[in-house]
Copies of this chain bind each other. A is one copy, B any other.
Amino acid sequence: MNIPKTEHKRVVIIGGGFGGLNLAKSLKGKDFQVVMLDKNNYHTFQPLLYQVATAGLEPDSIAYPIRKIFKAQENFFFRMANVEKVETSENKIITDIGILEYDYLAIATGTTTNFFGMEGVAKHAMTMKSVTEALDLRSLILQNFEKALLENEEEQVSFMNFPIVGGGPTGVELAGALAELKNHILPNDYPDLDINRMKIHLIEMQDEVLQPMSDKASSKALAYLKDLGVNVMLNKSVASFDGNNLTFKSGEQLKSKTLIWAAGVKGNLVDGISSTAIEGSRYKVDDKLKIDGYDNIYAIGDVGILKTKKFPYGLPQVAPVANQQGDFLGKNFISESKGASLKSFTYQDQGSMATIGRNRAVVDMKAFKFQGTIAWFVWMFVHLISLVGFRNRVITFFNWSYNYFSFDKGARLIIRKFKRN
């Protein structure tokens, strides 16, 4: 890989998500060599992928070139690569662009979609875990309307049904954004189509949406979704999907050409780590974030599972955990190199939030919980300042302001036609 050997220890980070970025940043100017591998040359701000999928933002608002983030960090090296295997006994990583040795390895590969073994769903459903998937979903949504125009009423309905499985933040936010497309934009774009035939269904197997949030937030989010015209189905599970029909476990069916799957994730595991270190598709880590049974291999963010008193089933798979763990691990590497004692990771829970649509958001903080317009502005503010870089913040802010005043979303472009399986 043409990366020079130096006298400093080499930290290899697999993944340029929140955890990986923060770890690399925390080692700036320190006596380590940092090598980051990612299959993309950019960091993705995943919480806003649904806005790319619904034509509100272009990729450059939420994706940021990794090399640009680290252009002033001399000890940082980046390689765009797919990791094939870790040879833990030799401290080596095998990739599609060659072999790389490490002193410390941090696995920060995040999660991938979990279809829970349902083959039809895996084959035909749309997902939203990457920029490419979000762009595909955007194209497919718009293509569905272009196609519906050419069909009789029964077929139209099938193209205009949008069942979304999973009542977590992704499903709720996507359902809200689709409802706003339906309410404000599509009737103007398709005057010769009856947009009332478009139906957004949010399917959740539990008895509330946003289950990990407070009851108040869950019930308010449900009310907001209903306000916007989303058909929320609670206590409902999917049995199968064949690309034309969605079948529920209860036996009911829904004719739909589209299924959006936001119902679960699993750790994005790397070959070569012992299966004894894995629990529920995540790496078991101790409070130093070290993976069970290894001396110099760590997991940070969603791919690791750290159980605490407050979170006996593991810390939540959210951005703040990844951010804090990346930062924490870097500091511990520095302490270790100085012979200082190592700290244990403790999660600072800053609360959580979700937006359902214009003036409709829910925020749970430790001290207080609130909903509605103020929550919506808080949500926008927090997401804006969390974006990487001045440019992305300004462009996103402009797009949101434009959307707010014009009720319009600018990026209704079918750039690459999506072909169904």
Contacts and interface: CB of A to CB of B under 8 A. Distances in A.
B415 A65 contact: no
Contact of A40 (B68, B190, B192, B414): B414
Interface in A131-158: 131-132, 135, 142-143, 146, 149-150
A146 B96 CA distance: 13
A391 B410 contact: yes
A292 interface: no
B412 A68 contact: yes
Contacts of A3: 192
Given A398-B395, A410-B391, A150 B98 contact: yes
Given A98-B150, A150-B98, A412 B41 contact: yes
Given A394-B398, A414-B40, A2 B150 contact: yes
Contacts of A192: 2-4, 77
Nearest to A139: B41
A412 B65 CA distance: 6
A351 B131 CA distance: 41
B2 A41 contact: no
Contacts of A2: 149-150, 192
A131 B135 CA distance: 14
Given A1-B150, A150-B2, A411-B60, A71 B41 contact: no
Contact of A150 (B74, B97, B150, B189): B97
Given A59-B413, A67-B190, A142 B79 contact: no
Contact of A60 (B40, B58, B98): B58
Contacts of A415: 59, 63, 131-132, 135
A402 interface: yes
Contacts of A414: 40-42, 80
A416 interface: yes
Interface extent on A, as a size class?
A: 35 or more
A337 interface: no
Contacts of A59: 58, 411, 413, 415
A188 interface: yes
A191 interface: yes
A392 interface: yes
From A3, A98, A131, A149, residue with most partner B Cβ within 10 Å? A149
Interface in A51-66: 58-60, 63, 65
Nearest to A57: B60
A387 to B, nearest CB: 12
A79 B389 CA distance: 39
Interface string A230-248: 0000000000000000000
Interface string A407-421: 010111111100000
User: Which 5 residue pairs are nearest across A and B when measured between Cβ atoms?
Assistant: A58-B58, A67-B189, A60-B411, A71-B188, A65-B412
Interface of A: 1-4, 40-42, 58-60, 63, 65, 67-68, 71, 74, 77, 79-80, 97-98, 131-132, 135, 142-143, 146, 149-150, 188-192, 389, 391-392, 394-395, 398-399, 402, 406, 408, 410-416
20 contacts: A2-B149, A2-B150, A3-B192, A42-B414, A58-B60, A59-B413, A60-B413, A65-B189, A65-B412, A67-B188, A79-B146, A98-B150, A135-B415, A389-B410, A391-B402, A392-B410, A394-B402, A395-B410, A398-B398, A416-B416
Given A42-B413, A63-B415, A68-B189, 17 more contacts: A1-B150, A2-B192, A58-B59, A59-B411, A59-B415, A60-B411, A63-B413, A65-B412, A65-B413, A67-B412, A74-B191, A77-B192, A80-B146, A131-B413, A391-B406, A391-B408, A395-B395
